[in-house]
């Protein structure tokens, strides 16, 4: 009787293959964070990454407290833990999405005149992130790694953690960032604080463009 609940073989199930690829996105997000930290060395990014790590630690703790098994018939025999409540993928992606939403709409403020364009790309990015989170959550049920309750509870835990960590970062850690950035070890590793800059993308763009023009002007003067 259990066979009717099993999904088709992955090699012939196109939906399963697509969802399996989508479920790998949390790994790509972690790699992206490590890359950003190495090249940007910005305290808020480090704090965001630290929140993700703590969120994973909370998930591990909840799984070993609740000890609810994964659904039968899934292809999860190679998973390191047999516990499925709450879903780590769901908790991870909803932490990331909720935190990113708050960062996008509360942390980044408009500083140039292209307000409509700025708001448009924020809304488009938010819709894309929401679709990704829903797809990853659904993939865990479709591929029989988790039940719906495990995915939903994981999503709720991730959302709560995302909100809590965002406000801890904003209200507790951000006022400390200037002091942390002034530490000798921070200066040695070029760790910086951009929390007082409303729109870091616009700031970096204008500063880089201005510096490039100045260097080009100096180079032209030397060639003459």
DSSP state of 9: P
What is the per-residue pLDDT for 92? Answer: 93
Query: Across residues 60-68, what is the average pLDDT?
Result: 86
pLDDT of residue 6: 45
Q: Encode pLDDT of 177-199 as tens digits.
A: 888 888 999 888 888 888 777 66
Q: Which residues, in sequence order, are bridge partners of residue 69?
A: 83
Per-residue pLDDT at 160: 94
Contact assessment for residue 47 and residue 114, using Cβ atoms and an 8 Å cutoff: no
**What residue ranges do the domains of the chain occupy?**
2-193
pLDDT tens profile 136-186: 888 888 888 888 888 999 999 999 999 999 999 988 988 888 888 889 998
Whether the pLDDT of residue 24 is over 80: the answer is yes
**184 phi, psi to nearest 5 deg:** -55, -40
Task: Look up residue 144 and give its DSSP letter.
Answer: T
């Amino acid at each position: 009787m259990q066979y009717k609940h099993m999904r088709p073989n992955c090699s012939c199930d196109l939906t399963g293959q697509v969802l399996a690829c989508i479920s790998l996105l949390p790994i790509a997000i972690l790699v992206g964070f490590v890359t950003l930290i190495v090249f940007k060395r910005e305290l808020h990014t480090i704090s965001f990454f630290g929140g993700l790590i703590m969120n994973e630690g909370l998930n591990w703790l909840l799984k070993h407290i609740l000890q609810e098994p994964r659904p039968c018939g899934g292809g999860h025999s190679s998973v390191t833990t047999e516990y499925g409540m709450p879903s780590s993928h769901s908790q991870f992606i909803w932490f990331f999405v909720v935190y990113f939403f708050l960062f996008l709409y509360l942390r980044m403020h408009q500083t140039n005149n292209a307000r409509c364009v700025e708001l448009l790309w924020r809304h488009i990015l938010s819709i894309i992130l929401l679709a990704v989170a829903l797809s990853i959550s659904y993939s865990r049920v479709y591929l029989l790694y988790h039940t719906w309750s495990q995915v939903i509870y994981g999503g709720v835990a991730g959302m709560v953690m995302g909100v809590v960590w965002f406000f801890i970062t904003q209200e507790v850690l951000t006022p400390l960032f200037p002091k942390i950035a002034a530490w000798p070890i921070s200066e040695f590793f070029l760790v910086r604080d951009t929390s007082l800059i409303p729109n870091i993308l616009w700031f970096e763009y204008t500063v880089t463009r201005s510096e490039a023009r100045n260097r080009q002007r100096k180079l032209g003067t030397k060639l003459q």
